[in-house]
Structure 1
């Protein structure tokens, strides 16, 4: 029997994840069946179940992948000397995250913001997914806090604010921006960048 290459396996896994993400964004997690996913990716049940045991494992894999990308981007930023300013850094990371999924659309609109909202709605009833999110966002917070400490150490940011407080605020800004995209439609990431830049420019009266 011919040996299947790792490239083929990775491409198949990518196909399944993208198809499932579209289904979840389009109809919600509970209204989506595995049959819907099979139809979307045009694969047999055996082909899909070789990679994922069901919907719960699919959504967990999608979430873990996204948060892993975001964490890695912020960790890479922390290695820069000096790291980019918060407005630029947030805009760059969010732009890259969205660009990787720009081919996923629902009714002509980006699917990713809608998918994020669907994931949030699952947290109260899905403890396994909630744990994936807690772990993922926790690692992003740690990466952000590390960057904040670099800002503070170089004199670019005031030192009387706990780094974790800044990290939580930046995550909240990104999540709020994504929620607005899901509600009101896509807008350029530069809108978030400019808003943060304006807030950063304020001085005490």
Structure 2
């Protein structure tokens, strides 16, 4: 009798993937591959990690994996796309800020905290290193960086035109420095080195004051 009850109970449990749509199952598999790939890239480096190792890490056959991603470069592109969405969320604070300085500080700190919480620093460092050798990876990484800069630059330009800030260099140079500083801080993961977010924010604000040179004028309050 106990065997019958056990059989009925186990039959009542839903099978893995049961009740999910095809799109949901596909998204789940893609996430599984991306997480496995990130583990392999950090452990073995981009050059050292093979598609076979990624298959083993996620418990998937090569045939199944190649249906989703034909190469490691395509996996990196998918990782960057997911990170792009996170960055857009982090830097959205800039659009609602009352000053360019406050907006940049808030956006940068949101990105630093997110990168630390997600544990992405080692992966970002590996991708940046590989971009120096692999043109496809370089285009992907630099394209992602340029997209974020493209969102911020018009807002900085607007602050310059309103007389809110008076940076000592032209906009192109300013953005190149800002993006490089931000990337360096993300790769180094300062919170993991024992530096508090409050300390980072204080240093970040002081640095940006020197780079932006606020004039004391403020943005007009949005309706």
Q: For this structure pair, what is the TM-score category when the shorter chain's length is used for normalisation?
A: 0.7 to 0.9
Question: Matched residues in 2 for 1:191 and 1:19: separation?
Answer: 34
Q: CA deviation at 1:35?
A: 1.8
Question: Matched residues in 1 for 2:42 and 2:62: separation?
Answer: 21
- Name the counterpart of 1:67: 84
1:93 aligns with 2:101: no
- 3-state SS in 2 of match to 1:79: helix
Deviations 1:45-87 (A, max 9, x none): 232212101212112221233234324543x345325364322
Question: Matched residues in 2 for 1:159 and 1:33: separation?
Answer: 46
Unpaired segments ≥5 residues, structure 1: 103-109
- 3-state SS in 2 of match to 1:82: coil
Unpaired segments ≥5 residues, structure 2: 1-17, 214-223
Comparing 189-198 with 48-57, greater Cα deviation is found at 189-198
Q: CA deviation at 1:200?
A: 4.0
- Name the counterpart of 2:64: 47
Q: TM-score, normalised by structure 2?
A: 0.72
Question: Matched residues in 1 for 2:70 and 2:197: separation?
Answer: 35
Question: Matched residues in 2 for 1:186 and 1:172: separation?
Answer: 22
Q: Of 82, 95, 98, which residue of structure 2 is paired with 1:79?
A: 95
Higher alpha-carbon Rg: 2
C-alpha contact (below 8 Å) 2:36/2:57 kept by paired residues: yes
- 3-state SS in 2 of match to 1:53: coil
Q: TM-score, normalised by structure 1?
A: 0.77
- 3-state SS in 2 of match to 1:43: coil
- Name the counterpart of 2:126: 118
